[in-house]
Every structure is written in structure tokens, then in C-alpha cells.
Structure 1
Amino acid sequence: MGRGDGKPSRDEVRDGYEQVLIERYADDTYGLETPVYPEGFDIDAYYECVVDGIYDNMTTESLEIIASGDSELPLPHDQLSILVDYDTGCYQGIW
């Protein structure tokens, strides 16, 4: 892990979140290898926005779950709400 306070680094959270999205879109529902974004969408700006938003607003435990990249690990409802808010806001803000 990346920091002395026990939190995973921002890069670890970003990489894990990207993996979670890839796993979610690659399931039987979508059958895609990677998420599909509109042409011209700045994916790096999106991930940076999400990580900047959640990093100081979610618990260390929740950040560790995201950094793990395992889409099957559940987040507590209040923590999931934070993630969804930033995911949606960043997507709409970037696009």
C-alpha cells in the first residue's frame, strides 16, 4: 500500500476502480471487454476526477476495497453512494 496512514495510494485506487469497471462491463450482461465511452471522452480526466472526489471522502477500508480491483467485494451503502455520486458527476462533467 502506498501511504503511511494506511490508505492505498491514489494510483492504486485509480487502477483498482478501472479494473472494477472492466469486470462489470465484461460480465454476461454487457459482454464487452472494456467499458464503452463516447468518442472524445477523456478517460484519464474522468478517473482523476473520481479519485480526487472519493479519496478524502471515503473510508480507508472502502478505498482498499476499490484498490483491490475486485468487483465482487461489497461497499457499505453510504460509501457506495459517495462513489456513485462522483462517478455520475465526473462522467457528466467530463462529457
Structure 2
Amino acid sequence: MDYETFKQEMTEDLKQRLYERGIEDVEMSFHNVEKANQHYESLTVRQEGSNVGVNFNIENAFAEYEHTGDYAGVLAESTVESLNLF
């Protein structure tokens, strides 16, 4: 799976996992993050209308997937992190 496909599938699958746990009305978007000495693309997850969200370094998630081939594991980690927000 290439990077763009990974981003699309991660967004859809993560939204479905959260929905299955009773968390609806979730917004997801991608942003470029620039910090001192690093920059990366981030997936932001938040409930609609909220200013609070969680950011994932989607590039690191993709790198982990490429290294391990374990998409389900990467998705599970992202789901747990998202649930901590709600």
C-alpha cells in the first residue's frame, strides 16, 4: 500500500473504529506540522465543534506499517490514542 492509500484507509478505518465504540461526529484532517528541527504530516482527530483534538504523526505510522507490515497493529495503536481524547 502506498502512502496516499494508507492515509485514506487509516482515516476511514479509524473513524469506523471510533463509531463502533460510540464516538460519532468525528472530524479528521491532515496538517503539516513544523516544530524546531522537524516537520511532518499530522492526522488530527477531534469531535465536531471541539477545539480539542489529538494529532498523529501519520508519516511515522506509515513508516511503522512499512517496517512491520502490520496495518492492524498500527490502526489499533491509533485507536487507543484517539480513545484517550474522548
- TM-score with structure 1 setting the length: 0.42
- Higher relative contact order, structure no. (Cα contacts within 8 Å, ≥ 6 residues apart): 1
Q: Which is richer in helix? A: 1
TM-score by length of 2: 0.45
Structure having the larger proportion of residues in strand: 2
